[in-house]
């Protein structure tokens, strides 16, 4: 039986699966079978934080826990990039190039054995205390440790009066006398602070009190390491050597090291100075960066976000890093950027801009640049949506782009940026930045490379006092020739025949994001000519075409689809395109318009062409009028295409062929003269390459189902047949379902059956 395991991905998602074969960490990937759908896939370890194995997993054999070193060096705390913390016991003999095995010491943890991936770790820390490490290295005596701990405790408990006495050479007895006097006199309220009393009595000035308070505050925050260096018990080098041991980082001297040019280019000088870090190496997409502050986990988060690269932090002294920065990083930069590789061609002009940002403070310019760059980056990567998902408490801000129908994590931003970024989005989209309890909707207009891009913004309050933001990117998509949109020859000819009609209604149906609007605009492009007057009403207008008179609804002022349609009918139209039939009134006006000499196109959210007829009937549309008006119903879905650069031919097994026949329908498969199973039968399979990010898929193809308004279909509408009856009737008239169209594209080598079945019931 295949071992069960759970994968925790870098974006925080958990995947339940079964292991296929054996897991070899240095292969850089894991071969699994997904529990939820039985799909086999190979996931790169770079996308994984850690892997939890069931207790019966015996690939790594430990005869007993007693054989593992039972000391503090093997006990660690691990923080992953997904924001999780684990208490574990580390197995030094089970460490690999990609990660290491460990056992959870949490008694309540359901999975004891864990494999941690180095690229998914933010910070590792031994349970051994810093003083213990220094003592074992022979750098500190037990008596020194006791002294420094006592000093740390005294700093935490120091009173303001004592600090004032020390700093200003005032007798502590004088301070106590003044305090006792004010207490007995009763002239000063009991809750008055000590510093204010001493000022009132003329013993000290306000400046002296402020300095004492600052000293008290810094004293409470002083760490053991800082005190050890200040008292001369250890040097900075010795302290950092101990810290590198505690956090399992390399300790290096930068004196004779020459940094790689690619590493220096990976981070802007502004960020290098601010974090006091120094990039050294850049190999195989891994960036090696030196820091003198290994305890600060936010440093790695910021570097990962800024570079989007795998990261290894190493330790160097403060002075070494300062000298390297002075030697290799120019004193001034022409442009201060938060994000590297900011495109100079992508100039951004915010068209709806507040003159001042009352929420953001010292980081205003950083947040503005960061926000603009995310919006530009999403547009340049052809994302349809941008998802801003803040983690709870100190969790990262996850940013995902939806491309080709799927969401993918593209940025993991430090928690310090999440609220300012959401506030920035509210301000430039004209929303109330002080409102955090209610959903808000707005829009952003940007000019990118002299092209206007619109973002529809939806802000939604979420748990933990956070707010999610989702932006729909409306970048003025273009139309495509119908011949390039994946229609079968029969569907293309039938659709073109419909477009020659002068009146009637054509509906394009499917779920959100299935390409309905693109299809209708391509249809309009076919009939767009100076002899036709074409009106469109949409929400929003996503595609613009010369020659079309396009209108965008505005419910805030009462300008709805119905109002626009009534106006169109008085504006001498030949063709009317309605972005969506959202209600009965719109549907009835559209059908009435198609019966009075106008060609009408519209969309509807239904699952199939036959179901559309039933849905309109349920909306109160008269079956007789609709049957007379109907020219056709085009239902469509988008599914992934095989990558043209890496797909490979193969001969399917008899079982695979039978699965295709059964999915198509055996009787229809034979009736439609589909391809027979022979020794020469060839299909295509996915492989994976750089152009498709090793997924095997690149781009999407539409699957279509075109129900023609034939006499038989019109009779079925009039007799109010069910969706199943209408489907069977239309199939008998040579209509092909979307699943049939998809399986035809499998035989053409365009896609695979698993992708067709994902979008077709």
What one-character DSSP code corresponds to residue 528?
-
Which structure tokens are listed for 81?
A: 């990039």
Q: Do 9 and 45 have their domain in common? A: yes
Summarised one tens digit per residue, pLDDT across range 166-191 is 666 677 676 666 666 666 666 556 56
Q: What is the pLDDT of residues 707-716, one digit of tens each?
A: 999 999 999 9
Question: Is 135 inside a domain boundary?
Answer: no
pLDDT of residue 344: 41
pLDDT for residue 574? 92
For residue 357, is pLDDT > 60? Answer: no
Give CA–CA dist 685/703, Å, rounded. Answer: 19
Share of the chain above pLDDT 90, in %: 29
pLDDT tier for residue 65 given thresholds of 50, 70 and 90: very low
Asked whether residue 341 is domain-assigned, the answer is no
pLDDT of 158 above 70: no
Q: What is the mean pLDDT of residues 314-323?
A: 89
For residue 350, pLDDT over 70 is answered with no
Sequence-ordered list of residues with C-beta below 8 angstroms from that of 471, at least 6 positions apart, any chain: 375, 378, 385, 386, 388, 425, 444, 455, 456, 457, 458
Higher-confidence residue of 301 and 355: namely 301
Beta strands in 567-696 (DSSP E): 575-578, 599-604, 630-642, 648-650, 683-685
Do 599 and 702 lie in a common domain? yes
Work out how many domains the chain is built from and give that number: 5
Output the DSSP codes for 328-371.
HS-S--SS--SSSS--TT--EEESS--SS-SS--TTHHHHHHHH
Does 69 score more than 70 pLDDT?
Answer: no
pLDDT, residue 359, reads 38
SS3 550: strand
- Of 126, 151, 176, the residue at which a domain comes to its end is 126
Segment 458-504, tens digit of pLDDT? 999 998 889 999 999 886 667 788 998 899 999 999 999 999 999 99
pLDDT given at position 614:
92
Comparison of pLDDT for 10 and 163, the residue scoring more:
10
Same-domain status, 704 and 673: yes
Whole-number percent of the chain with pLDDT over 70: 80
Backbone φ and ψ of 533, nearest 5°: -100, 115
Phi-psi region of 492 (alpha: psi -120 to 50; beta: other; left: phi over 0): alpha
For residue 649, being part of any structural domain is answered with: yes
Give the DSSP letter string of 570-581: TS--SEEEES--
Q: Please check the confidence at residue 333 and state whether its pLDDT lies above 60.
A: no
Q: Are residues 694 and 648 in the same domain?
A: yes
Considering the domain architecture, whether residues 556 and 638 belong to the same structural domain is answered as: yes
**CATH number assigned to the domain comprising residue 294:** 3.30.300.160
Residue 61 has pLDDT above 60, yes or no: no
For position 174, what pLDDT does the model report?
66
* Range 43-54 average pLDDT: 89
How confident is the prediction for the chain on average, in pLDDT?
A: 82
For residue 360, pLDDT beyond 60: no
Residues 6+ away with beta carbon under 8 Å from 670: none
Residue 660's domain comprises: 482-759
CA 107, CA 8: separation in Å to the nearest integer?
A: 20
Question: Residues 725-748: what's their mean pLDDT?
Answer: 92
Contacts of 351 (CB under 8 A, 6+ apart): 445, 446, 447
Both 557 and 677 in one domain: the answer is yes
> What pLDDT, on the 0 to 100 scale, is given for residue 62?
47
Tokens linked to 522:
């391509």
Rounded to two decimals, what is the model's pTM?
A: 0.56
Q: Which of 123-137, 302-316, 343-357, 740-754 has the lowest mean pLDDT?
A: 343-357
Place of tokens 């790695």: 300
One domain for residues 73 and 47: yes
227 — pLDDT class (breaks 50, 70, 90): low
Q: For residue 530, what are the β-bridge partners?
A: none
How many whole angstroms separate alpha carbon 598 and alpha carbon 502?
Answer: 7
Instruction: Check residue 388 and give its pLDDT.
Output: 95
Please name which of 361, 312, 370 lies closest in space to residue 340, comparing C-alpha atoms: 370
pLDDT of residue 381: 85
Residue where a domain terminates, one of 300, 328, 356: 328
Q: Which positions ≥6 away from 740 have C-beta within 8 Å?
A: 664, 665, 668, 672
Measure the CA–CA gap between 382 and 590, rounded to whole angstroms: 33
Give the mean model confidence (pLDDT) for residues 580-605.
Answer: 90
Regarding whether 193 and 76 lie in a shared domain, the answer is no
Is residue 498 a part of any domain in this protein? Answer: yes
Tokens (6 digits) for 622: 């008269």
Domain boundary among 96, 126, 156: 126
pLDDT band, very low/low/confident/very high, at 216 (cuts 50, 70, 90): low
Is pLDDT at 254 greater than 60 in this prediction?
Answer: yes
What confidence tier does 244 reach under pLDDT thresholds 50, 70, 90?
confident
- Out of 30-34, 329-333, 359-363, 522-526, pick the least confident: 359-363
**43 vs 241, higher pLDDT:** 43
Does the pLDDT of residue 561 top 60, yes or no?
yes
Q: What is the CATH number of the domain that holds 583?
A: 3.40.50.300
User: 9 lies in a domain?
Assistant: yes
Task: Give pLDDT tens digits for 598-640.
Answer: 999 999 999 899 999 999 998 889 999 999 999 999 999 999 9
Please give the structure tokens belonging to residue 300. 């790695």
Shared domain for 213 and 193, answered yes or no, is yes
Task: Give the integer Cα–Cα distance in Å for 178 and 176.
Answer: 5
Same domain membership, residue 468 and residue 505: no
DSSP state of 700: E
Domain check: are 219 and 287 in the same one? no
Residue 134 placed within a domain: no
| Terminal alpha carbon distance of the chain | 31
In angstroms, the CA 423 to CA 434 distance is 9
333 in a domain, yes or no?
Answer: no
> Is 599 among the domain residues?
yes
Can you tell me the distance from the alpha carbon of 522 to that of 543, in angstroms, rounded to the nearest whole number?
10
Same domain, yes or no: 534 and 680: yes
Please, which residues bridge with residue 706 across strands?
Answer: 634
């Amino acid at each position: 039986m295949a071992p069960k395991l759970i994968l925790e991905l870098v974006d925080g998602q958990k995947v339940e699966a079964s292991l296929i074969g054996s897991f070899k960490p240095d292969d850089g990937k894991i071969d699994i079978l997904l529990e939820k759908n039985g799909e086999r896939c190979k996931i790169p370890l770079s996308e994984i934080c850690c892997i939890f194995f069931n207790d019966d997993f015996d690939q790594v054999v430990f005869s007993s826990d007693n054989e593992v070193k039972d000391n503090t060096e093997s006990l660690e705390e691990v923080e992953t990039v997904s924001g999780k913390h684990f208490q574990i016991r580390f197995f030094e003999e089970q460490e690999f190039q990609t990660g290491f095995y460990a056992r959870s010491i949490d008694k309540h943890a359901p999975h004891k054995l864990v494999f941690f991936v180095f690229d998914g770790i933010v910070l590792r820390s031994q349970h051994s205390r810093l003083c213990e490490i220094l003592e074992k290295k022979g750098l500190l005596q037990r008596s020194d440790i006791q002294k420094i701990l006592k000093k740390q405790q005294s700093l935490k408990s120091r009173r303001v009066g004592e600090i004032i006495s020390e700093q200003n050479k005032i007798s502590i007895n004088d301070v106590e006398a003044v305090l006792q006097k004010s207490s007995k006199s009763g002239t000063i309220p009991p809750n008055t602070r000590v510093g204010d009393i001493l000022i009132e009595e003329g013993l000290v000035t306000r400046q002296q009190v402020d300095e004492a308070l600052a000293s008290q505050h810094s004293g409470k925050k002083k760490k053991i390491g800082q005190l050890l260096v200040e008292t001369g018990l250890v040097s900075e080098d010795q302290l950092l050597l101990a810290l590198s041991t505690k956090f399992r980082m390399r300790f290096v001297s930068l004196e004779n090291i020459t940094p790689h040019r690619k590493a220096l280019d990976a981070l802007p000088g502004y960020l290098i100075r601010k974090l006091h870090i120094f990039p050294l190496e850049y190999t195989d997409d891994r960036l090696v960066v030196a820091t003198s502050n290994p305890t600060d986990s936010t440093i790695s988060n910021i570097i990962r976000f800024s570079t989007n690269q795998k990261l290894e932090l190493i330790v160097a002294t403060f002075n070494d890093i300062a000298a390297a920065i002075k030697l290799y990083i120019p004193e001034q930069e022409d442009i201060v950027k938060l994000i590297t590789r900011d495109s100079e061609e992508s100039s951004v002009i915010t068209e709806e801009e507040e003159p001042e940002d009352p929420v953001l403070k010292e980081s205003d310019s950083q947040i503005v640049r960061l926000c603009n760059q995310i919006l530009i980056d999403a547009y340049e990567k052809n994302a349809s949506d941008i998802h801003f998902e803040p983690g709870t408490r100190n969790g990262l801000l996850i940013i995902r782009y939806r491309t080709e129908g799927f969401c993918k994590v593209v940025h993991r931003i430090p928690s310090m940026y999440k609220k300012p970024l959401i506030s920035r989005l509210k301000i430039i989209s004209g929303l109330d930045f002080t409102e955090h309890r209610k959903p808000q909707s707005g829009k952003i207009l940007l000019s990118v490379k002299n092209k206007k891009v619109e973002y529809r913004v939806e802000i939604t309050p979420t748990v933990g006092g956070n707010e999610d933001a989702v932006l729909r990117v409306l970048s003025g998509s273009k139309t495509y020739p119908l011949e390039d949109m994946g229609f079968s020859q029969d569907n293309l000819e039938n659709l073109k025949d419909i477009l020659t009609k002068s009146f009637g209604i054509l509906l394009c149906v499917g779920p959100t994001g299935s390409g309905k609007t693109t299809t209708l605009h391509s249809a309009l492009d076919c009939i767009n000519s100076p002899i036709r007057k074409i009106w469109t009403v949409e929400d929003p207008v996503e595609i613009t075409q010369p020659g079309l008179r396009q209108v965008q609804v505005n419910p805030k002022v009462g300008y709805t689809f119905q109002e626009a349609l009534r106006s169109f009918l008085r504006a001498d139209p030949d063709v009317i395109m309605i972005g969506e039939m959202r209600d009965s009134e719109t549907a009835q006006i559209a059908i009435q318009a198609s019966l009075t000499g106008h060609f009408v196109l519209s969309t509807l959210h239904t699952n199939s062409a036959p179901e559309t007829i039933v849905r309109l009937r349920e909306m109160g549309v008269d079956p007789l009028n609709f049957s007379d008006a109907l020219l056709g119903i085009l239902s469509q879905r988008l599914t992934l295409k095989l990558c043209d650069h890496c797909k490979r031919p193969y001969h399917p097994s008899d079982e695979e062929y039978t699965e295709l026949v059964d999915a198509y329908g055996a009787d229809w498969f034979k009736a439609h003269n589909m391809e027979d199973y022979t020794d020469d039968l060839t299909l295509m399979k996915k492989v994976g390459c750089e152009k498709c990010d090793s997924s095997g898929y690149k781009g999407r193809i539409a699957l279509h189902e075109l129900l023609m308004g034939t006499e038989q279909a019109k009779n079925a509408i009039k007799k109010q047949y069910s969706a199943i009856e209408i489907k069977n009737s239309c199939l008998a008239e040579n209509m092909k379902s979307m699943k049939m169209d998809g399986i035809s594209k499998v035989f053409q080598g365009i896609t695979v059956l698993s992708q067709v079945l994902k979008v077709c019931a």
